[in-house]
Structure 1
Amino acid sequence: MEDHNPIQEKQTIFKPFRQNGNETSLHIVYKALMARYDSNQALALLRDFCLTSISVENQRRGLELLYMSSFFDELEELIKVNRNSENEENRQWAYIYDIMLERRKTGEKIDPYKILSGLDKIKPLSQEVELLKVFLTVYSYNSLRKNGTVGSYFDTLHELTNTIADPLMAMYFHERLEDFLMFYHLLRNELILCRRYGYRLLNRTHNTFKHCVAHQKLALTYTLESYEQALYHSNEALQIAEQNGYTRLSHVITDKNFPFIAAVNGVYEGITTSDPIEKAHLDIAKGNIDDAVKVLEEIEQPSPFQEYYLGKALNDMDRLLSAYHRFTRSGNHFAAQFPIHEIKRIRKLDIEIMEEHRLA
Structure 2
Amino acid sequence: METDGQAAGGGESEKRTRTEGNSDGESATTEEISEGDEITDDEQITELEDVTEEERARWAKIDRQIEWKVLSEEEEMDNYRQDWEFGYAHRFGSFDKETELSSMVSTYDTSVDAWAETALQVYSIKVEKAKLRWPLHVYGMVDIRDAVDHRRNILFNRKRDNCQIITKNDPYLLLTGPSRAIVFLDPAVFEINLKVKGESEDKEALIHQTYWCNGGSRLGVMSCSNKRCKINLSFMELEETVQATITSVQIIRGSWPRDYAGKVLCHDGSSHDELVLLDFRDGRNPPVDQDGNLDLSRRVVSVNVHNNMTVSVDASESRCAVVFTPEPGGLTESECDVDGHCRVKITVAWSLLVVLE
Instruction: Give the TM-score taking structure 2 as reference length.
Output: 0.25
Point out the structure with the larger strand share. 2
More helix per residue: 1
State TM-score, norm by structure 1.
0.25
Q: Which has the higher contact order (CA 8 A, sep 6+)?
A: 2
Which one has the largest radius of gyration? 2
